[in-house]
Amino acid sequence: MERTDEDVLAGVGPRLRALRRARGTTLAALTTETGLTSSTLSRLENGKLRPTLEQLLPLARAHGVTLDDLVQAPPTGDPRVHLRPVRRSGLVMLPLTRRPGGIQAYKVIHPPAGRAPTTTPQTHEGYEWFYVLSGRVLFVLGERELRLGPGEAAEFDTRVPHWIGSADSEPAEVLTLFGAQGERAHV
């Protein structure tokens, strides 16, 4: 049975209340997070106010969900992730996720050793994980230098100075996962 727009919107209020309660957040705290008044939030949760995009965007961000999840929109379009490479600092990064926020996945291709524009370790908030798909990787973490080959993985606190690059004359390909802070630092 096809759901109407009214049906979809009618379900938003109860989902908003459930998300807020699951987080243990009060209307007053959510007001501070979103900039929406407690009265507006209450009317949205009770279904007395039809939500607008301007209201849903900060609510989705505060609850850490997508708009589609918030309104439980019917599936649309192609679920495949269409890879559009990002080139930065000598790296080729292919996004493997398209959901904003949360953990992001990338396939990263590191140029052969000696061709990276920098080998300066960096720091940023968060944690990172990577898995070597092909080639050999030189991984500098603080004072340690590690070499990883295909099938090996590393997980680390990104507040520790770190650098990842190819360890030899061939490019190295890694699968990496990081949060929003890592995405801003790398992409």
Per the structure block, which two tokens stand in for 95? 């996004």
Q: Measure the CA–CA gap between 156 and 135, rounded to whole angstroms.
A: 20
**pLDDT of res. 136:** 97
Per-residue confidence in pLDDT tens, the chain, 187 aa: 556 767 777 888 998 998 899 888 899 999 999 999 999 999 999 989 988 889 999 998 888 888 878 888 766 667 777 777 888 878 898 888 876 667 888 999 999 998 887 788 999 888 899 999 999 999 999 999 999 999 999 999 999 999 999 999 999 999 999 775 554 454 4
**pLDDT of res. 187:** 47
Sorted by sequence, the CB contacts under 8 Å of residue 74 that are 6+ apart come out as: 3, 8
Are 61 and 102 contacting, i.e. CB atoms less than 8 angstroms apart? no
Q: Measure the CA–CA gap between 164 and 141, rounded to whole angstroms.
A: 9
Nearest by Cα to 129 from 143, 112, 115, 108 = 108
Helices (H), the chain: 5-10, 12-23, 27-34, 38-45, 53-63, 67-71, 180-186
Per the structure block, which two tokens stand in for 148? 């990883």
- Kindly report the pTM of this predicted structure: 0.56
Residue 181, SS3 per DSSP: helix
Q: Measure the CA–CA gap between 126 and 183, rounded to whole angstroms.
A: 10
